[in-house]
């Protein structure tokens, strides 16, 4: 399968804000040095760029990079219309004759499905990275969004959902018809690192992610106060930006806990993030459990996979689908969304006689979901289906 894979033309369309699944796929394809690979980044969210950037690689080497002439900041509905039209144009221009065109959302997928025949694209893939029952408060926008989602999922040659729950939820409410969707589970992956027990601090808690109240940040200071009753020299490392970052720093100062916290803020280099996290004793993921419209209820959070790649035992709330699996496999424990319970469970792990067994279990899960294995499986399924149809 591998020789067949590298000799194909692969194209990615992604709405780029920060590094995510499509960007990990980009790096995977560059590393594999395929015959031809094209990555098209449409600006989205916090991305300050207004242009669409297209990078072309041959044998893993960047041979051409260009930016769209359109560089105006538009209201959200007009931005979607612009990107839909550009995606149709770029399918014909850059994905012509492609063996696979992988799209990171439903809008780009729908445009690619419409142009598939014209551009002679063999496979259009909808890389499904999220789901929430109510996407927009405006009913018209919400209906339009799920109309586009239906056209994309039903029209794509393959759907790659991060979790089965994303699809099952859509089937349950009638957003999608099960018999019209061809899918292959493509979970969020991770970059695994070698475990070094000697470099682990069994008194240090680590957190990576947005610093936002009602999304866990309000628990950090009271949790550390409670944790120090179990482990007097307990410390916490926090990596991430967010609109409550300054508020957290003030809470730490007001509590006199500056010596117990190391707050990095946003760290641009992901390699630097890994270097910071890997020496921790336990990682936390306090997902807010009281919003049933949260993306996390259906998602496969990248934060969790990063922790697993570092071999970190995890304490989290019972929100994402992976929570119960972590607990069942001994790689983590579930806690209630309170500072006291997080402190109790964190201390339980750090002081456990089975601590290093938990690290081994976490690292084992990390190896299973390495990006290389995730993408190899999904492409194998995609091209195997093509081989069967050609017989």
Q: Which residue from 24, 30, 80, 86 is spatially nearest to 55, judged by alpha carbons? A: 30
Rg for the chain (alpha carbons), in Å? Answer: 22
Q: Which residues contact 244 (CB under 8 A, 6 or more apart)?
A: 211, 212, 213, 217
- Phi/psi for 73 (5° steps) reads -85, 120
Q: Which residue from 197, 372, 368 is spatially nearest to 278, judged by alpha carbons? A: 197
For the cut 60, the answer to whether the pLDDT of residue 2 exceeds it is: no
pLDDT, position 46: 58
For the cut 50, the answer to whether the pLDDT of residue 39 exceeds it is: yes
Domain segments of the chain: what residues?
Answer: 2-189+371-390, 197-368
pLDDT, position 44: 80
Angle made by CA atoms 271, 303, 254, in degrees to the nearest 5: 90
Mean pLDDT value of segment 356-385: 93
pLDDT, position 215: 86
pLDDT, position 355: 96
Separation between Cα atoms, residue 87 and residue 105, nearest integer Å: 11
Query: What average pLDDT does the chain have?
Result: 92
Separation between Cα atoms, residue 343 and residue 219, nearest integer Å: 10
Poorest-confidence range of 66-80, 101-115, 274-288? 66-80
DSSP 371: H
Between 3 and 383, residue with greater pLDDT: 383
Q: What is the pLDDT of residues 268-284, one digit of tens each?
A: 888 899 999 999 999 99
Q: Which residues contact 88 (CB under 8 A, 6 or more apart)?
A: 111, 112, 114, 115
Q: Which residue from 33, 69, 65 is spatially nearest to 50, judged by alpha carbons? A: 69
pLDDT, position 263: 96
Please tell me if the domain spanning 2-189+371-390 has the same topology as the one spanning 197-368.
Answer: yes
Separation between Cα atoms, residue 117 and residue 291, nearest integer Å: 42
pLDDT, position 386: 55
For the cut 90, the answer to whether the pLDDT of residue 197 exceeds it is: no
Q: What is the pLDDT of residues 135-175, one digit of tens each?
A: 988 899 999 999 999 999 999 999 999 999 999 999 999 99
Mean pLDDT value of segment 10-35: 90
Q: Which two tokens stand for residue 254?
A: 């007001």
Q: Which residue from 261, 185, 189, 248 is spatially nearest to 213, judged by alpha carbons? A: 248
Separation between Cα atoms, residue 386 and residue 391, nearest integer Å: 9
Mean pLDDT value of segment 235-254: 96
Q: pTM to 2 decimals?
A: 0.91
pLDDT, position 70: 82
Topology of domain 2-189+371-390, CATH = Rossmann fold (3.40.50)
Topology of domain 197-368, CATH = Rossmann fold (3.40.50)
Between 292 and 110, residue with greater pLDDT: 110
């Amino acid at each position: 399968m591998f020789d067949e894979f590298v000799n194909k033309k692969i194209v990615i369309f992604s709405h780029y804000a920060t590094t995510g699944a499509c960007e990990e796929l980009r790096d995977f394809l560059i590393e594999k040095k395929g015959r031809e690979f094209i990555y098209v980044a449409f600006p989205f969210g916090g991305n300050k760029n207004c242009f669409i950037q297209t990078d072309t690689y041959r044998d893993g080497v960047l041979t051409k990079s260009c930016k769209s002439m359109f560089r105006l900041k538009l209201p959200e509905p007009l931005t979607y219309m612009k990107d839909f039209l550009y995606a149709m144009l770029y399918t014909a221009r850059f994905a012509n004759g492609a063996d696979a065109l992988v799209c990171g959302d439903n809008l780009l997928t729908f445009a690619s499905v419409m142009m598939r025949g014209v551009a002679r694209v063999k496979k259009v893939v909808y890389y499904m990275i999220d789901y929430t029952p109510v996407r927009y408060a405006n009913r018209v926008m919400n209906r339009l969004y799920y109309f586009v989602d239906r056209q994309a999922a039903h029209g794509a040659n393959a759907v790659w959902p991060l979790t089965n729950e994303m699809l099952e939820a859509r089937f349950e409410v009638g957003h999608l018809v099960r018999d019209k969707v061809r899918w292959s589970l493509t979970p969020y992956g991770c970059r695994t690192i070698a475990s070094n027990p000697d470099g682990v601090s069994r008194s240090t808690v680590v957190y990576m992610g947005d610093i936002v109240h009602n999304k866990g940040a309000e628990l950090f200071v009271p949790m550390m106060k409670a944790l120090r009753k179990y482990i007097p020299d307990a410390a916490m490392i926090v990596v991430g930006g967010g609109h409550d970052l300054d508020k957290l720093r003030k809470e730490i100062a007001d509590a006199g806990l500056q010596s117990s916290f190391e707050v990095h803020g946003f760290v641009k280099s992901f390699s630097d993030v890994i270097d910071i996290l890997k020496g921790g004793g336990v990682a936390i993921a306090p997902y807010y459990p009281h919003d049933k419209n949260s993306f996390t209820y259906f998602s496969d959070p990248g934060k969790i996979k990063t922790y697993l790649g570092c071999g970190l035992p995890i304490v989290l709330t019972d929100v994402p689908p992976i929570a119960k699996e972590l607990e069942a496999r001994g790689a983590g424990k579930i806690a209630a969304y309170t500072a006291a319970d997080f402190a109790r469970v964190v201390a339980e792990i750090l002081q456990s006689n089975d601590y290093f067994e938990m690290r081994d279990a976490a690292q084992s899960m990390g190896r299973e979901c390495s990006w290389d294995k995730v993408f190899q499986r999904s492409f194998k399924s995609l091209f195997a289906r093509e081989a069967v149809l050609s017989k």
